[in-house]
């Protein structure tokens, strides 16, 4: 069976949709960057993980939809689909990402308060005992650290030092 125009059109539309979805996945990774404020190492790992997912998705797509035949046009249309997402929905999403992040953190904080409220109420006595013992341990450590700051004796005045340093001659006064 030969290549049909409708088959090629369907392949290109599917490639554009895959690119669009991979663009959405990129926004998920961008949101993770904004929310966690990961450093350079975290950024490298996120980028490697994203590109690994993209390459596997593209490989499987080409294998299933195009019988494993790699065509530049399919890759180009996939990239155009990702660019379409990036410059349309992605631009709107990233502007709102910090607002979404604050809202999610606020809801998580409220949920944490709802969960921890009864724990604080009924576990208050145990918490105060643990807190008091931690404070006592901290005071003891602080006291011991002050004792560690005692200076050592001067070498020339130690009793077990039998060799006395040579005395320095006094400088002559000029007349």
Element containing residue 43 per DSSP (H, E) = helix 40-65
pLDDT, residue 141, reads 72
Q: How far apart are CA 86 and CA 28, in angstroms?
A: 12
Q: Which two tokens stand for residue 92?
A: 């709107």
pLDDT, residue 168, reads 67
Answer whether residue 99 shows pLDDT above 80. Answer: yes
pLDDT, residue 51, reads 94
Q: Judge contact between 23 and 81, C-beta under 8 A.
A: yes
Q: How far apart are CA 79 and CA 34, in angstroms?
A: 24
Q: Which two tokens stand for residue 112?
A: 């944490």
Answer whether residue 175 shows pLDDT above 70. Answer: no
For the residues 119-138, what does the mean pLDDT come to? 73
Which of 36-45, 76-85, 119-128: highest mean pLDDT?
Answer: 76-85
Answer whether residue 160 shows pLDDT above 70. Answer: no
Confidence of residue 156 (pLDDT cuts 50, 70, 90): low
Q: pLDDT tens for residues 46-88? A: 999 999 999 999 999 999 988 888 889 999 999 999 999 999 9
Candidates 80, 60, 63, 58; CA nearest to 13 is 80
What residue ranges do the domains of the chain occupy?
Answer: 5-87
Answer whether residue 6 shows pLDDT above 80. Answer: yes
Q: Judge contact between 27 and 91, C-beta under 8 A.
A: no
Answer whether residue 1 shows pLDDT above 50. Answer: no
pTM over the 0.85 mark: no
pLDDT, residue 151, reads 58
Answer whether residue 162 shows pLDDT above 80. Answer: no
Phi-psi category of residue 75: left, alpha or beta, with phi > 0 → left and psi -120 to 50 → alpha: alpha
């Amino acid at each position: 069976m030969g290549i049909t125009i409708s088959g090629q059109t369907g392949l290109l539309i599917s490639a554009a949709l895959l690119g669009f979805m991979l663009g959405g996945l990129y926004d998920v990774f961008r949101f993770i960057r904004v929310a966690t404020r990961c450093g350079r190492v975290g950024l490298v790992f996120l980028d490697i993980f994203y590109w690994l997912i993209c390459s596997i998705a593209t490989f499987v797509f080409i294998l299933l939809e195009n019988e494993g035949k790699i065509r530049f046009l399919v890759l180009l249309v996939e990239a155009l689909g990702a660019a379409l997402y990036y410059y349309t929905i992605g631009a709107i999403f990233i502007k709102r990402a910090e607002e979404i992040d604050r809202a999610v953190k606020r809801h998580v904080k409220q949920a944490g308060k709802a969960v921890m409220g009864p724990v604080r109420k009924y576990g208050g006595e145990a918490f105060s005992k643990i807190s008091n013992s931690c404070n006592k341990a901290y005071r003891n450590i602080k006291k011991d650290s002050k004792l560690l700051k005692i200076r050592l004796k001067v070498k020339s005045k130690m009793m077990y030092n039998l060799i006395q340093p040579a005395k320095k001659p006094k400088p002559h006064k000029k007349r």
